[in-house]
Each structure stands twice: as structure tokens, then as C-alpha cells.
């Protein structure tokens, strides 16, 4: 078993990926996220950040989505602990 930790999706940097474990959004946004394929167990890749720092482009289920940083903060993903963290710790 590899060591994992849970972080908001908005904390991930381009090139990183995580597996969705919880969606804390409410209302229409939550519905929309589900419709767009952001469900538990799905792997999300961070593609790039918009030139002004927001929103962020993600790839999920083979399609590309743009989410605002504050909306991505409500999606919790599980990531593998990187070796860099061990080295620093």
C-alpha cells in the first residue's frame, strides 16, 4: 500500500493528478459536476492554469473542463505522497 493523503483539488499543480473521494459542493454546481463526470473514484489530471491565475483546466474521463479555483476547492482528491515530501519531512 502506498501512502496517500487527501487535499482539495485546487491545491494540485499542473501535471499532478488525484482520485476524487468527496464532493462537498452544493446545489446546481454539484449537479453540474456530476453531469460532467466528476464522480467518486474518477482520476482528475491538472492540465494548466489560466493566464490570470484562475480558472484551472482539468482533464477527466478524456474531456477537458475549466473550473474556478474556489469551486475546485470543494472537490477532495486523494494523491500519492510524493518522495519529495519524505525528503523534506
Residue 22 C-alpha cell reads as 468527496
> Which residues of the chain form contacts with other proteins (CB under 8 A)?
23, 27-37, 39-41, 48-55, 57, 61-68, 71
Which CB, 5 or 32, lies closer to other proteins?
Answer: 32
Q: Give which of 79, 59, 70 is closest to 29, Cα–Cα.
A: 70
Residues in contact with 61: Cβ distance below 8 Å, sequence separation at least 6, in sequence order: 37, 42
Which CB, 22 or 85, lies closer to other proteins?
Answer: 22
Backbone φ and ψ for 73, nearest 5 degrees, come out as -65, -20
CB of 29 to other proteins, least distance (A): 5
Which CB, 31 or 85, lies closer to other proteins?
Answer: 31
Amino acid at each position: 500500500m502506498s501512502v496517500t493523503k487527501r487535499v482539495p483539488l485546487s491545491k494540485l499543480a499542473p501535471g499532478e493528478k488525484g482520485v476524487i473521494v468527496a464532493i462537498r459542493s452544493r446545489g446546481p454546481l454539484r449537479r453540474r459536476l456530476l453531469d460532467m463526470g466528476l464522480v467518486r473514484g474518477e482520476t482528475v489530471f491538472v492540465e494548466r492554469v489560466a493566464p490570470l491565475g484562475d480558472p484551472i483546466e482539468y482533464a477527466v474521463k478524456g474531456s477537458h473542463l475549466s473550473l474556478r479555483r474556489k469551486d475546485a476547492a470543494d472537490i477532495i482528491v486523494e494523491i500519492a505522497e510524493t518522495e519529495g515530501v519524505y525528503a523534506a519531512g
